[in-house]
Amino acid sequence: MVVIKKYLKNIFFGLITWLFPFILSFAFYSKEGILLIDIFLFKSIMIVFSGIIGVSLLILYFKDIKKDYFIEGIIIGFSWLFINILLDILILMPLSGMTYFDYASQIGLRYLIIPIMSISMGLLLRLKL
């Protein structure tokens, strides 16, 4: 039961890492789908907001982990990476009309920060304890 709860928490938090920034992005678009601010400002806001959400969720996740921090960091990082890319392919790409190349170069590559942060946090916890 504890293992199932941990995996459900992993998936739920992964969904939140995608959903909250997606919802925030609507504040910067008109009803016609036109970006209302400079594209670079928009991307900067999204990266900072996503970082805050991601780190906050990592702290909440690791709070309940008692061992294997580094392995957990790998699992959570690549789970969230997969969830974010999958949701982008299913929802964001059809809405935006982006090609796979445009997506990978403009958005997808930035998602690598997810496993970088989670693995780093797991390694830090392993080294400190």
pLDDT tens, 99-126?
888 888 888 889 999 999 999 999 999 9
Q: 2 pLDDT exceeds 80?
A: no
Integer Cα distance of 117 and 62 in angstroms: 12
**Confidence (pLDDT) at 86:** 96
* Tens of pLDDT, residues 3-58: 788 899 999 999 999 999 999 999 999 999 899 999 999 999 999 999 999 999 99
Please count the CA atoms within 13 angstroms of the CA of 35 that sit on its side-chain side: 9
What the block records as the tokens of 81 is: 């990476």
The better pLDDT of the pair 76, 33 is held by: 76
Integer Cα distance of 31 and 33 in angstroms: 5
Tell me the β-bridge partners of 29.
35
82: containing domain: 2-128
Residue among 2, 111, 15 nearest 66 (CA): 2
Predicted model pTM: 0.89
Number of domains in the chain: 1
